[in-house]
Structure 1
Amino acid sequence: MDKLKNYDTLLFAAIAFYAIYLFTSYSGIGISPDSIMYTSAARNFVANGNLHTFNNIPIVDFPVFYPFFLGVISFISQTDPVKFGAVLNMCMFATLIFTSGWIMSRFTPASHIYKWLALAAIILNPGLLQVYSYLWSETLFILEVLLFLIVFRKYLLTHAGKWLVFAAGIAAVACITRYAAVTIVGTGGLLLLLDRQLPIRKKVSHIIIYGLICISLLVANLTFNALHTGTVTGPREPSITSFSQNLYYFGSVFCEWIGMTPNMYHTFALPLAIIILVGFIAALTFNFTRRKLDSFENLAITFALIYGLFIVLSSTFSRYERINPRLLAPMYIPALWGYTSWGLLLLKRIADRRVRMAVAAIFILMMLGYITQIYLIDKKRYNDQIVDEYGNPGYTDNDWMESEFAKYLKTIDKGMFAPKVGIYSDAHEAVYFFSGMSSYLVPHKFFKKDVEKFYKIKRFYLIWFNNLENPELINIKDIQKVKKLKVIKQFEEGAIYEYDSQNQN
């Protein structure tokens, strides 16, 4: 049976590899605006030894490690990230599944059937399949979460300083992969505080060592950002969603993951969010009273709780994309473990064999029902994006590949733009992706001084995409009210304009 621990996990890892192959088989790796930021910084790392984006400023909105990671692979392989991205994600998703299986083989108690069901649920989760179909930093961050759980559990079992330093090192790297990795730091810090086996003096020293190592790289990254750009994480706007709204969005993601239809979200999303978070709090409290903090299951519960609360609270104070499956993908595996592994303990405590078999059968049927439900969601996405030949939504899907404007940008004569005259756009990453040209994003409406500064520019070019309406940016109608724009090239999907104050009548 020991061999089966590895062979069955390898089989699921191979299935995971193939799943990402399927979802990237038509148009390659999915490319979003974030992907282009990562890619341009990686290309600059290879070409110039820095992590500047396409507009020649240091990457600030995102931490530096993921583009550095892509840059190192690109340098070694002499291949562009967009070209190797699909294969990289196939390998990373397979590694994630193998690591998950390795961890579940060490649950107490462990069960092969439970592991198989859980691995199937992980592979088929729509959120994870989406994340690993795109060139996104979550692909690396989710793997770092599991590696941290493995190493930090080793520390909890031994209280050896070397394992504490190793775990803190993983957390430090994770913090410059995703800023949300402060939740990994919080997971370890909370468990250190709750650990009753550590003498007070040793606990204090370990917390200090752990904290200093964890935040070291993040502090260096943020300090660099502040010195070179004047902001630590780029310009941030205050949130426009309340705590209750964010709880609802949080719950709606889990409603989606368990197969509910959107018309059911209004009824179930908010209660489900509360049940999930309160349940994790109750489970952590229960484990603390039983002095059972060193299990993988408890580590998973602790991380899922802290990560979930962080996303809801940070969304309440700072504006970024609405809570969605991509944002919550890092907590899916820990949450799945937290809400299913208790079944193994329950079965262990049932003395009557027939009752135990009946309960096990009910549990298996519930898991199979859930797996079937998410499989149908994945099948629909596969039919829409691969069978119907549309591609992963983003800059490599059919809408963009068949766009006359995008085709024009790919072959544009850069000499048509006067030297040293700024180029602006409502999608500067799209301009770079299709033409290779640097441009600047038109200002956000919220930042009034930036808007005023933009309107004072005496000459500029404007590349505008009609189908990318962003309500947070000043739009083309706003600009035309203030500036008389000259059309250089017009398309159905957008246009290229020029403004020159000297030619205004």
Structure 2
Amino acid sequence: MFNKKIVSYLYSNADALVISIFAVICLLIFTGHNGIGISPDSISYISTARSIHEHWTMTDFNLKPLVAFPVFYPVFLSMVMFLTGTDIVQSGVVLNCVLLAAVVLLSGRLLNKFHPRSAWYKRIVLLFIVFSPALTEVYSMLWSETLLILLSLIFFLFLEKYLKHSTVKNLVICAVLAGLATVTRYAGITLTGTAGLMILLAPHMDVKKKAGHIGLLSLISFFILFLNLIRNHVLVGSLTGPRQFGHTPLLENIGYYGKTLSDWYPVFNQDHSTSILIGLLVFTVVLLLFLYRAFKGKYYHGQENIAAAFVLVYSIFIVGISTLSHFEGINNRLLVPIFIPSLFALTFWLPGYFSGLRPVAKQASMVLLLGFLLLFQYNATAQLDEMYQDAVTYGVPGYADDSWKKSETANFLAKHPEFLKKGIKVYSNAHDAVYFKTGLHADELPHHIDKEYQEKFYQEKAHYIIWFNSIDDPELIHLSSMYKHRKLLEKYRFGDGWVFLFERKP
């Protein structure tokens, strides 16, 4: 019986299987030069995964408990290390190939549930997913979004089952998936919000049942998050590490939101002056489509509606949190979890629209659609081609590319760690790179706004500064400040950086 189900699934999803294999081949080509892409966040995940694997502790490269990020992704990476017996940097490409293939297969499964079902529509959407610069960028990096996207799609599958039958079993599965997503990326909390919204507006449930099920959903999913936050508070006295208040206005964040959507769907005008209008337009269209299906009642539980609800909840959360809290600006990485759902939500009506047309009108509409698709794919392919040329020639951008692989500063310190005298503290403007490229420990230079840390830094007897010329972080104190407050004892110049030895001024 089980084998028959597998055969039936593969038969009905054979096109998705073929496209997923193609996606893996494309990713292998993209990462073929230097392997998986590594960013500063990746190093936090890698170091914590190694710590779990070797010492059963969730400690990052700073030799401190990981609190800036949720813990599940490093735990997941450590599990991969246990299973494969290899370091996650070496197995990262294979891992992301598996995750991407699973995303394509699950997307195909979800598209099979659309009303009406359309084979040509499904294949076009899956090809857009494979050839999207948005997903190519993310799955070429060792980032937690790769897992969050997969968890989201699995969540959509079980949320539809729950909305059809209102069973507690499927609700609990949804709650656990939402909880795991939240401790993968804190933005995963939007899955709980999505399920809550769908339950709240469900036409076939009474108020008492809605309240009880929303309560159970919240209890389970938030409990998983609560465990992570309590751990953080016990270890370092903070729930999520130091956070700064936001200083980017709401309209500007909506503009960044619209700019990212313009990059995803390059038929839009990509002039940043219109990005606010594009962001508001796309959000409004998805909202109207969701409300129409919500109050019409037909196929309320469908994947089209679930995708739209997630796009709405996630968009509000990201724009809101980016306004209230300061971190990197809204970009592809922050929004990529809604790339596939937005594709679903904005295009689901096409098969039904074409099936209702007369032959002449259908032919005319097909010509217009073909022109739209060609324009879309031409622009997307141009973006993707540029990314591929860079990745194949220099490696995926980040700490694994050629510029870092050939770093004179990092390579010298990796070969001669004894160059840095023991007992003298080490700082760097890229302390994560020092760990990743040399295996040495360095602290981050103080931030401009952290006056207390600066004062302690300047009062230290002596310390090394490893300075990489390619890193320009305006939030960190500059060399000019160190020359002003410290006495320079030694300096060593390399092709891409310096090593300084400073001591306290008398």
Residue 20 of structure 2 aligns with an amino acid whose one-letter code is A
Q: Which residue of 258, 261, 281 maps to 1:251?
A: 258
Larger deviation, residues 91-100 vs 368-377: 368-377
**Once the two structures are superposed, what CA deviation does each residue of 1:365-414 show, in whole Å capped at 9, x if it has no partner?**
4224312321221112112221xx21111111111122211211221223
Matches within 5 A, 1:317-356: 317-350=324-357, 352-356=358-362
Q: Which residue of 243, 257, 261 maps to 1:236?
A: 243
CA distance in 1, matches of 2:446, 2:321: 23
Matches within 5 A, 1:252-401: 252-259=259-266, 264-292=270-298, 293-350=300-357, 352-386=358-392, 389-401=393-405
Matches within 5 A, 1:86-125: 86-125=93-132
Q: Which residue of 482, 486, 490 maps to 2:485?
A: 482
SS of the equivalent of 2:398 reads coil
SS of the equivalent of 1:26 reads coil
Larger deviation, residues 446-455 vs 310-319: 446-455
Residue 392 of structure 1 aligns with an amino acid whose one-letter code is V
SS of the equivalent of 1:495 reads strand
CA distance in 1, matches of 2:281, 2:83: 47
Q: Is the 8 A contact 1:487 1:495 kept in 2?
A: no
| Deviation of 1:189 (Å) | 0.9
CA distance in 2, matches of 1:254, 1:317: 21
**Once the two structures are superposed, what CA deviation does each residue of 1:260-280 show, in whole Å capped at 9, x if it has no partner?**
69x942343111101011112
Q: Is the 8 A contact 2:486 2:503 kept in 1?
A: no
Larger deviation, residues 159-168 vs 220-229: 220-229
| Deviation of 1:207 (Å) | 0.8
SS of the equivalent of 1:51 reads coil
SS of the equivalent of 1:16 reads helix
Residue 463 of structure 1 aligns with an amino acid whose one-letter code is I
Residue 92 of structure 1 aligns with an amino acid whose one-letter code is L
CA distance in 2, matches of 1:113, 1:168: 34
| Deviation of 1:259 (Å) | 2.8
Give the alignment's Cα RMSD to 1 decimal. 1.8
Q: Is the 8 A contact 1:486 1:498 kept in 2?
A: yes
SS of the equivalent of 2:463 reads strand
| Deviation of 1:418 (Å) | 2.1
Q: Which residue of 442, 449, 460 maps to 2:463?
A: 460
Q: Is the 8 A contact 1:255 1:268 kept in 2?
A: no
SS of the equivalent of 1:484 reads strand
Gap change, CA 1:430 and 1:167, over 3 Å in 2:
same
| Deviation of 1:239 (Å) | 1.8
Q: Is the 8 A contact 2:71 2:228 kept in 1?
A: yes
Q: Is the 8 A contact 1:64 1:177 kept in 2?
A: yes
CA distance in 2, matches of 1:436, 1:2: 46
| Deviation of 1:203 (Å) | 1.3
Q: Establish whether residue 18 from structure 1 lines up as the match of residue 25 from structure 2.
A: yes
TM-score by length of 1: 0.95
Q: Is the 8 A contact 2:36 2:142 kept in 1?
A: yes
CA distance in 1, matches of 2:238, 2:476: 20
**Once the two structures are superposed, what CA deviation does each residue of 1:12-65 show, in whole Å capped at 9, x if it has no partner?**
000111111011001110011111110000100111001100121111111101
Partner of 1:414: 418
Partner of 2:84: 77
Partner of 1:160: 167
Residue 347 of structure 1 aligns with an amino acid whose one-letter code is F
CA distance in 1, matches of 2:25, 2:376: 21
Partner of 1:197: 204
Structure 1: state its 5+ residue gaps: none
Residue 153 of structure 1 aligns with an amino acid whose one-letter code is E
Structure 2: state its 5+ residue gaps: 1-7
Q: Percent of counterpart pairs with the same letter?
A: 36
CA distance in 2, matches of 1:314, 1:307: 10
Larger deviation, residues 167-176 vs 464-473: 464-473
SS of the equivalent of 2:422 reads coil
SS of the equivalent of 1:490 reads strand
Partner of 2:443: 440
Partner of 1:55: 62
SS of the equivalent of 1:424 reads strand
**Once the two structures are superposed, what CA deviation does each residue of 1:441-495 show, in whole Å capped at 9, x if it has no partner?**
1121122222223223233222121220101111121222111132343223222
Q: Which residue of 471, 475, 481 maps to 1:472?
A: 475
| Deviation of 1:354 (Å) | 3.0
**Once the two structures are superposed, what CA deviation does each residue of 1:486-505 show, in whole Å capped at 9, x if it has no partner?**
2343223222222333xx55
CA distance in 1, matches of 2:247, 2:116: 45
Paired residues, number: 498
Partner of 2:151: 144
Residue 485 of structure 1 aligns with an amino acid whose one-letter code is L
CA distance in 1, matches of 2:411, 2:9: 56
Q: Which residue of 147, 164, 169 maps to 2:176?
A: 169
Q: Is the 8 A contact 1:343 1:363 kept in 2?
A: no
Gap change, CA 1:361 and 1:2, over 3 Å in 2:
farther
Q: Which residue of 472, 494, 499 maps to 2:497?
A: 494
| Deviation of 1:185 (Å) | 1.1
CA distance in 2, matches of 1:102, 1:23: 26
Q: Is the 8 A contact 1:237 1:446 kept in 2?
A: no
SS of the equivalent of 2:394 reads coil
Residue 411 of structure 2 aligns with an amino acid whose one-letter code is K
| Deviation of 1:3 (Å) | 6.5
Larger deviation, residues 407-416 vs 154-163: 407-416
CA distance in 2, matches of 1:269, 1:210: 36
Q: Is the 8 A contact 1:151 1:163 kept in 2?
A: yes
Residue 319 of structure 1 aligns with an amino acid whose one-letter code is H
| Deviation of 1:5 (Å) | 2.8
